[in-house]
Structure 1
Amino acid sequence: MLSKKVVPENIMKMVRAAIKLFLVLVFLAYMVLWIMMPTNLYFEHWMPEIRAKTKSTYFGNQGASMLIYTFPILFIATMGCIYLHLGKKDADHNRHRMVQTSRLATLKQPAIVRGPLGIVSWMELSFLTMFVALLVWSTSSYLNHMFVHIDQMAAKSGLLVWEAKLEMSGLALGLVGNICLAFLFFPVTRGSSVLRLIGLTSEASVKYHIWIGHIAMTIFTAHGLCFIIFWAKTKQMSEVLKWDKVDVSNVAGEIALVSGLAMWATSLPQIRRKMFELFYYTHHLYILFVVFFVFHVGFSYSCIMLPGFYLFLIDRCLRFLQSQQRISLVSARILPCETVELNFSKSPELSYTPTSMVFVNVRGISKLQWHPFTITSSSNMNPDKLSIVIKSEGSWSSELYQKLSSPSPIDHLEVSIEGPYGPASTPFLRYLAKKNELCPCFCSDKSDKAFVPTSYQANNNMFYMRCRHDTLVMLSGGSGFTPLISIIRELLFKASSSSDRIPQIFLICAFKKSVDLTMLELLLPVSGATVDISCLKFQIEAYVTRDKEPATDNRRPLQNVWFKPNALDAPVSAILGPNSWLWFGVIISSSFVIFLLLLGILTRYYIYPIDHNTGMIYAGSARAALNMLFLCTAIAMTVTAVFLWSKKQNGKGTRQIQSMDTPPKTSPAWFHNADRELESLPHQSLLQATKVHYGERPDLKKILFERKGTSVGVIVSGPREMRQEVAAICSSGLADNLHFESISFVW
């Protein structure tokens, strides 16, 4: 029995390791291509040889561009889906799994805690430095080659030397800006296998999209200004209105630049946070930006940015199809602090990790607006329910609260959901213990602590062991409390259902008013009577900053609203069912093959007879438009077919779940007060674990430095100032047992 079980697991590990190694080699080769791109070796030798070997009547010159720029990333994305699918079948979840890097723990610690970039780890700073170095290298290399014969070029064109240099500088900036554009869409592809392969999530990667976006628009703006100044000085302002048939289209580039500037201006924090709707709607100009960028440079050169945008289009199409489903909203908990908890029906097959999130649309408020919210439920504790918490802080959330808390509440609400999206795993219980370090979780039957044994040590200190924290400190401020709810519920489930050692939990939460203390009610799910919070070593320190004493006015008690079931509603489920990664790989590969077939037929039987792949007769904009049409058609066909097939396969389970979405028989009406009995065990345990401080703020430095032990996990979720202060404390070096983790959603 043992051999039959171990052998398949070992084979699975070997297959996954081989795939991962191969993908790393492909990616390194792809990055070498970017480094060599500005060199004469690439332009004079590599590219001509590749085009000569790939030239055909079916694809023309753009065949080489797709092979070099597009195929490697789509191949990585497809094979990554297979790797992730096999990972779901890997049953080996050894709690002492080792990580093959001795510097990983240090690289994840904050390097910068204050500044325009926010909190940046050493690893993020390293990759940002390498990216900027690539841009600097490319710019200097392009300019160096362009300026070699600039004097002869200026004399031949009748220009002054500085005018010729200005024109070449504008061209070089455009080429460098395309590097940013190539990486711009990867961080915002929510269901990306590429992000999952490198351990990132879309919500955590949004800041990378912001960084790249700022750099890209700075470069493209400078690119446009260089040419406008050049045209003005050389009396060629008519070039502004030029739409060349086969060459670069200036008008298309100007439209793309104006669209990008509008998105750039409205994405600034001062506008995005105060006028989210303006930012949200304006950001859809990315469609104009990409379309006219392709018209500007031609489809062949657009293959540089195509891989990221291709994966984004697939993800966007899947999200659109998922958003058309109406989700079964079972109940809502209404808190007196103008906060609501929405509870949806969920497919038991759908599993997500704590701190995952969903995008929600309520058609009764706005058919177009989508807002992100953290999932507060645990898929292990509540396999058939998914919960989110919404605090009234804007016009959209305030209108929702008014609808649900009105004296005559509605009995049904049309809601759509995109997601959930979240990390593959949640390492908030573990840290990386060094060789020979005292590990509190490597326990035997007779001892509570033991050193990392010799069998887990590797030569040259190249291995760490993943061990459990002694203590877990969670700090929150305001609405930053909600992401911690899912973590605490998951810990409750683990403590009550397994023998795993759970560290001591300290929850430090800051609220503005005493009425906000009712948010603590959300730590217990609706079925709170079945949860025993006393199984955790749990302590809550709640700070009320504005009220110096408990509020004495009579406020509306906590209430529950139960909604009538609707036959058209469906439970929340994975977009493509339980085998989502496998189907996602099928979509990527199949859609690209269909696109190549359509492109080959178009080129061979329509375009080639006209210009014989010279690119000088058939209009480049018309060719780009047809290529974009075929691209979107291939993606739409494949995504729709796979989505409908997956929906059909999961239809039976959906109907079974819908029949369960009814209010409890003990509920006398659709709307009723649901005050908890103070004598109930979960609520009583929660009260006993809570200590409230009025009229003061938490002394974060004192709280963290008082936590003793081998390892203290520190999770902070809240305002930027709070996260920065905690990051500064943990990275100060005054306490080497603090392991920092920040939860931040930048939208």
Structure 2
Amino acid sequence: MAMDELHSAQQSLLFSNGGDNNKNKIRKKGIFGSLAKWILKFTMWVIFVLWVAMFCVVPTDLGSDLYDDWIDATSGALFGKTGSALLLYSGPIIMIAFLAVPYLLLSGEDQQEEELQEKRPPRFRLWTFPVLVEGPFGVVSAAEFIGIILFVVFVLWTLYANAVVNFELLPSYGDLTFKEMSCVILEFVALGFGATGSYLLAFFFLPIARGSVLLRLIGIPFEHATRYHVWLGHLSMLLFTLHGAIYLIAWSIEGHLIDDILEWGNLAGVISLLSGLLMWVTSLHPVRKQKFELFFYTHQLYAVFVFFFAQHAGFHFNSAAGGIFLFIIDRFLRFCQSRRTVDIISAKCLPCGTVELILSKPASLRYSALSFIFLKVQELSWLQWHSFSISSSPLDGKYHLSILIKAQGEWTTELQGIVLNNSDTELQKELHLQPLTKLTASVEGPYGNEQPYHLLYENLILVAGGIGISPFLAILRDILHRTREGKACLPRNILIVWAVKRSKELYLLSTIDVESICPFFSDKLNLEIDIYVTQETEPPLEEGRVPEAMNSSTCSPVSHGCSMSVLVGTGNTLWSGLCAVSSTLGFVILVGLLNYFYITPFSISSRWYIGLLVETCMPLSVFVFGGLVVGLWHLWERQNATWEQCEDDRTKVYKMPQNETVAHEDSRWQTLATANRTTYGSRPDFKGILGNISDKCGAIDVGVIVCGPPTLQSSIAKEIRSRNIRRQHDHPIFHFNSHSFDL
């Protein structure tokens, strides 16, 4: 109570000394900021709608006439026909990316704090209402289902429009024999499939630009956007396969198959298609699960696919150039970020076999409790990157973050072995043994949803399977910190439902010190933990205690690099925006010079050669002009680094005496043991769990976040859909949110 009274007194003193003026200034700033955001958002929506409409209209007769008028009006400028087509097809999506930068800068943490303080009446939301819960698409929300329908309509329309325009040209061929007419019709059909596939490539690369401002703009994290890339990939490759197969049939009927294939423009298309087919086959679910490395390495053929596609498609490459260019910028920034060796503050192997890594980061790097990173360990592989959810809260410390890695594959098992080998054990001390292997880590990210949707629900259900508890530990830490510090935070009732195979995995709960983060948290937060141990029928150890045999193995810092970079992800919006702007300006300059000094004077008209020149300008502009901004960025990072504070933070937080560790972990276990219920030999009954909550809560919003295998997501989504459809007015609305990442 004393702290509350002091806080009230400070508030009264503040408002009595010009507080009203400050509030008015903040209110005015908020009004102008909201107006600017509304204008930017409206402008971006208008550009996007016109861009999609352009793809629908161009294949028609009206669209052809409008396109010819556009080329006539703009091709006389410095950039010629090539620049005109690029501006029409790729300019809009790049412009949206530019406008997204100031929009994200205006959408800062202050506005998020204001949104978290607003309690809204319960209502259905399209993004959190599961519609399809089983099948090839996985769990699909109502918003995604509407998007799928609209996209199918878009594809069917473009196929139809291309067919109509092409077949209207048939009379101009004059009298044809049946064989000749059949070949012409086949080529028309193949051309329509190819043109539609090139339109899909305009969207194809947008979801896999991990740090893209476009994904951050619409609030779709990369781990969710990858599924859209997968869907687009299947559809695109189907269209391109039909495109190539029908052309081969037509050329075979005409009798000059080999001659047509060996023509360079067509040969480039064949090479592009073969590389695409190889990526497609190895990305299918059975292959990806059984042979992930095969999938990973063959997927690097995307560079071959794009390179030869540009030379084959010619004019149609313009439709995909915008998305590819934004992907190149993102890939360049990721490459620059991943060159840095990141300091591992601590590496620990927990008794359950899970490895906990604590990595150094600068204070300026922002992330949320729903973020994840990509990690590469040089001693294990020079090429493999693996994604891991961050298990710490942004409020845990300014200069570090932690991840939990479960040993369940070849890469993770080798990592566990290295950490155990480097552990600071008594045996190593007695024999004066030195660690045999060091760890050299590189990091990409953080990525993830910047909108803290876990804070938007007063009642929160977290459903985890196995190591899926990792992001929920971050969520719980975040809520506890906010509760203690009095920050905006709606959750007051939290239920964690956790299914594990063996009871030894329960030790993961002791990695969070609840009482240390928020003393007397039970007075402010109702926390319940339901644990289901599926492959054990009874507890093998005395409940509620961490036995001596479960002591963890901790090793000293095993690398000496530096903090993570803020180049991509949620790091620094301003600098990444400047890099995109400078790269685009460089691309415009290079295309203009190319057209003025080479294409126009020498009357270059070959479609494959122009495609080669344009795609060469894209990475060149990013490396030269974007690289200049990255260089300035590195200088800025060095000047703003606070290494002394970082060292102080590490010393205070992580240099805990070894003899105190067991007692400290035991106290953590005892604290959480009072809040959990453990059931052995059974799985969660989601019908009963949600039914119990539905009877108690009344008409409110209940957020459900799931992190686990697809079967777990489907079962909980099915029950949520059923309850929402049959909902009565005095029952809650359940909102489904998936936090699983399956690549």
User: 1:563 is matched with which residue: 539, 557, 561?
Assistant: 557
1:626 matched to 2:618? The reply is: no
Matched ranges for 1:446-457 at <5 A: none
Rounded to whole Å, the distance in 2 between the matches of 1:389 and 1:511 is 15
Distance 1:25 1:662, change over 3 A: closer
Question: Which position in structure 2 is the counterpart of 1:289?
Answer: 305
User: C-alpha distance in 1, partners of 2:496/2:139?
Assistant: 22
Residue 484, structure 1, aligned to residue 472, structure 2: yes
SS at match of 2:567: coil
Deviation at 1:144, TM superposition (A): 2.1
Shift of 1:297: 1.5
**TM superposition score normalised by structure 1:** 0.87
The alpha carbon displacement at 1:149 in A equals 4.9
Check whether the contact 1:343–1:388 (CA below 8 A) recurs between aligned residues.
yes
- Paired position in structure 1 for 2:74: 54
Are the equivalent residues in 2 in contact too, given 1:57–1:603 (CA < 8 A)?
A: no
Cα distance in structure 2, aligned partners of 1:125 and 1:357: 26
Report SS of the residue matched to 2:255: coil
- Structure 2 stretches lacking a partner, 5+ long: 1-20, 429-434, 542-546
Q: Is the 8 A contact 2:358 2:400 kept in 1?
A: yes
Q: 1:279 to 1:353 in 2, by over 3 A?
A: same
8 Å contact from structure 2 (residues 342, 443) kept in 1:
yes
SS of 1:74 mapped into structure 2? helix
Between the aligned partners of 2:254 and 2:368, the Cα distance in structure 1 is 60
Asked if structure 1 preserves the Cα contact closer than 8 Å seen for 2:350 and 2:551, the reply is: yes
Quote the residue 2:396 is aligned against.
Answer: 381
CA contact (8 A) 2:210 2:569 kept: no
Residue 575 in structure 1 maps to residue 561 in structure 2: no
* 1:742 matched residue in structure 2: 738
Letter in 1 for 2:478: E
Q: Deviations over 1:65-91 (max 9, x none)?
A: 112111111111001111111222755
In structure 2, the CA distance between the partners of 1:656 and 1:411, relative to structure 1 (3 Å rule), is farther
1:598 aligns to 2:619 (yes or no): no
Partner of 1:186, secondary structure, is coil
Q: Does 1:250 align with 2:266?
A: yes
Q: Name the aligned partner's letter for residue 168 of structure 2.
A: V
SS at match of 1:233: helix
What is the aligned partner in structure 1 of residue 10 from structure 2?
A: none
| CA positional deviation for 1:589 | 2.2
Please give the residue correspondences for 1:673-692 in structure 2 after superposition, counting only pairs within 5 Å: 674-677=661-664, 680=667, 682-692=668-678
Aligned-residue offset at 1:301: 2.8
2:445 counterpart SS class: strand
Moved more, 26-35 or 57-66: 57-66
Shift of 1:509: 0.5
Given that 1:195 and 1:202 are in contact with CA atoms closer than 8 Å, whether structure 2 keeps it comes out as: yes
User: Structure 1 residues 232, 531: closer, same or farther in 2, change over 3 A?
Assistant: farther
Change in Cα spacing, 1:101 to 1:547, as seen in structure 2 (3 Å) is: closer
Distance 2:404 2:654 in 1: 25
Q: Which residue identity lines up with residue 575 of structure 1 in the other structure? A: L
The partner residue of 1:428 within 454, 462, 473 is 454
Aligned to 2:721: 731
Q: Which residue of structure 2 aligns with residue 280 of structure 1?
A: 296
What do the CA deviations read for 1:274-314 (whole angstroms, capped 9, x no partner)? 2111111111100000000001022x431100111111110
State the partner residue of 1:223. Answer: 243
Structure 1 residues without counterparts, runs of 5 or longer: 431-467
Give the secondary structure class of the aligned counterpart of 2:146.
helix
1-structure distance, mates of 2:81, 2:62: 19
**What corresponds to 2:386 in structure 1?**
371
Q: Which residue of 2 aligns with 1:584?
A: 576
Give the structure 1 partner of residue 61 of structure 2.
40
Does 2:88 correspond to 1:68?
Answer: yes
The residue aligned with 2:50 is 29
Against the structure 1 CA distance between its residues 665 and 209, is the aligned structure 2 distance closer, same or farther, given a 3 Å change threshold? closer
Give the match's secondary structure for 2:134: coil
Q: CA–CA distance in 2 between the matches of 1:679 and 1:31? A: 59
Q: Offset at 1:537? A: 1.5
The amino acid of 2:620's aligned partner reads T
Map residues 308-707 of structure 1 onto 2, 5 A cutoff.
308-406=323-421, 409=435, 412-430=438-456, 468-469=457-458, 471-498=459-486, 500=489, 502-524=491-513, 534=522, 536-551=525-540, 555-563=549-557, 566=560, 569-575=561-567, 580-611=572-603, 615=605, 619-652=606-639, 653-657=641-645, 659-660=647-648, 674-677=661-664, 680=667, 682-707=668-693
- 1:578 and 1:373 map into 2 onto residues whose CA distance is 16
Q: Which residue of 2 aligns with 1:444?
A: none
Q: Tell me which residue corresponds to 1:439.
A: none
- Following the alignment from structure 1 to structure 2, what is the Cα–Cα distance between the partners of residues 24 and 349? 31
| Cα drift, residue 93 of structure 1 | 3.5
SS in 1 for 2:366: coil
Could you state the TM-score of these two structures normalised by the residue count of structure 2? Answer: 0.88
Aligned letter for 1:331? S
Cα separation, 2, equivalents of 1:109 and 1:289: 37
Matched, 1:150 2:137: no
CA offset digits 1:240-259 (Å, max 9, x no partner): 43335xxxx11000000011
Does the 8 A contact of 2:128 with 2:735 survive in 1? no
How many Å separate the matches in 1 of 2:621 and 2:132?
44
Q: Once the two structures are aligned, what percentage of the paired residues are identical?
A: 31
For the aligned residue pairs, the C-alpha RMSD in angstroms reads 2.8
State the partner residue of 2:706.
716
CA distance in 2, matches of 1:480, 1:234: 58
Amino acid at match of 1:557: N
How much has 1:398 moved relative to structure 2?
A: 0.5
- Of 89-98 and 484-493, more deviation after overlay is shown by 89-98
Which amino acid in 1 is paired with 2:740?
Answer: S
In 1, Cα distance between the equivalents of 2:521 and 2:110?
Answer: 32
Q: Secondary structure at the match of 2:287?
A: helix
2-structure distance, mates of 1:100, 1:133: 35
Provide, for residues 52-77 of structure 1, a one-character-per-residue CA deviation record: whole Å limited to 9, x for no partner: 11113632211221121111111110
Distance 1:650 1:222, change over 3 A: same
The answer as to 2:191 corresponding to 1:171 is yes
Shift of the 702–695 alpha-carbon distance from structure 1 to 2, 3 Å rule, reads same
**Partners in 2 of 1:359 and 1:312 — Cα distance?**
17
Residue of structure 2 equivalent to 1:260: 276
2:408 partner SS:
coil
- Quote the offset at 1:579 in angstroms: 7.8
Q: Which has the higher helix share?
A: 2
Q: Paired residue for 1:194?
A: 214
Tell me, in whole angstroms, the C-alpha distance in 2 between the residues paired with 1:142 and 1:668.
Answer: 69
1:162-188, CA deviations, whole angstroms, 9 ceiling, x for partnerless residues?
332211111110011112111100111
Residue 624 of structure 1: how far off its partner (Å): 2.9
Shift of 1:585: 2.4
The AA in structure 1 aligned to 2:703 is G
Q: SS at 2:600's partner residue?
A: helix
Within 2, Cα distance between the matches of 1:52 and 1:659? 63
Q: 1:643 to 1:533 in 2, by over 3 A?
A: farther
Give the whole-Å Cα distance in 2 for the aligned partners of 1:341 and 1:312.
Answer: 32
Cα deviation for residue 638 of structure 1 reads: 2.6
Question: Hey, what's the Cα distance between the residues in 2 that align with 1:577 and 1:726?
Answer: 30
The one-letter amino acid paired with 1:726 is: I
8 Å CA contact 1:55–1:63 kept in 2: the answer is: yes
* Pairwise CA distance, 1:489: 1.1
Q: Quote the offset at 1:582 in angstroms.
A: 2.1
**Distance between the aligned counterparts of 1:100 and 1:238, measured in 2?**
67
Distance 2:455 2:198 in 1: 41
Structure 1 residues 7, 225: closer, same or farther in 2, change over 3 A? same
For residues 102 and 477 of structure 1, the distance between their equivalents in structure 2, rounded to whole angstroms, comes to: 28
What's the CA shift for 1:572?
2.2
